[in-house]
C-alpha cells in the first residue's frame, strides 16, 4: 500500500500514523513495508501505529565511486510535477515530456476514481536530473471492483 493511502486509511479510523523510513532493495520507494502491529492485533481509535515505509534501495555510491568531475559538475535538474489526481495517461504524458521514465503500481481505492493517480514516488517537491523513473500509484477503484474481463472467483 502506498504511504499516503495508508496514512489516509489510518487517519480515517482515528489512528495516528507514525512514519519510519528505511531502505529496501525489494520494495519500491513510498510503499509501506510493514507496521509495528502483530498479525491480527486490534487497535483502538486514538492509538498510534508505526508505518515502516520504503525509501527504495540505497543508491548512494561509496565515496570512492564518485569521480571528482561528477561531483563538481552536476547536471541540470527538473522539478518533479505533482501528478496526484491526474489520469494515468495525462500523468505519463507530462512526466515523459519532462524527461522521466514512468512505472505504475495499481492499488484499490474507495476514495480515488479508477485510473487516477493516488500517489507518486518521488514526491512533487523533488529536484532530479531527467532520466530517473517516477512511480505512479494508480487507483483500480474500490476493492470489490472486478477488472473488465476479470473473473469473479466467489
Assigned fold of 1-57: Trypsin Inhibitor V; Chain A (3.30.10)
Can you tell me the distance from the alpha carbon of 46 to that of 26, in angstroms, rounded to the nearest whole number? 32
Phi/psi of residue 120, each to 5°?
-145, 155
Q: State whether CATH 3.30.10.20 applies to domain 77-144.
A: yes
Note the pTM of the prediction, 2 decimals: 0.48
Whether 1-57 shares its CATH topology with 77-144 is answered yes
Q: For residue 115, give the DSSP letter.
A: T
Residue 110: strand, helix, or coil:
coil
Q: For residues 35-56, give the mean pLDDT.
A: 79
Residue pair 125/19 in contact (Cβ under 8 Å)? The answer is no
pLDDT digits (tens, 9 = 90+) for 69-101: 444 445 677 778 888 889 999 999 988 888 889
Can you tell me the distance from the alpha carbon of 69 to that of 85, in angstroms, rounded to the nearest whole number? 40
Give the model's pLDDT for residue 65.
44
Task: Give the start-to-end residue ranges of the domains of the chain.
Answer: 1-57, 77-144
Give the model's pLDDT for residue 154.
42
The lowest-confidence range among 4-13, 56-65, 103-112, 126-135 is 56-65
CA 30 to chain centre: 4
Between CA 87 and CA 97, with CA 100 as vertex, the angle to 5 degrees is: 65
Amino acid at each position: 500500500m502506498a504511504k499516503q493511502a495508508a496514512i489516509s486509511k489510518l487517519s480515517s479510523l482515528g489512528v495516528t500514523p507514525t512514519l519510519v523510513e528505511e531502505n529496501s532493495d525489494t520494495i519500491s520507494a513510498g510503499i509501506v513495508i510493514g507496521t509495528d502491529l502483530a498479525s491480527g492485533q486490534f487497535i483502538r481509535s486514538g492509538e498510534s501505529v508505526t508505518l515502516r515505509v520504503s525509501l527504495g534501495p540505497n543508491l548512494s555510491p561509496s565515496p570512492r565511486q564518485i569521480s571528482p568531475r561528477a561531483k563538481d559538475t552536476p547536471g541540470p535538474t527538473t522539478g518533479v510535477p505533482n501528478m496526484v489526481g491526474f489520469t494515468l495517461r495525462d500523468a505519463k504524458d507530462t512526466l515523459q515530456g519532462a524527461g522521466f521514465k514512468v512505472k505504475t503500481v495499481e492499488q484499490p481505492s474507495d476514495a480515488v476514481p479508477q485510473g487516477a493517480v493516488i500517489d507518486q514516488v518521488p514526491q512533487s517537491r523533488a529536484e532530479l536530473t531527467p532520466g530517473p523513473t517516477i512511480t505512479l500509484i494508480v487507483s483500480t477503484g474500490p476493492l470489490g471492483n472486478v477488472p473488465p474481463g476479470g473473473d469473479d472467483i466467489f
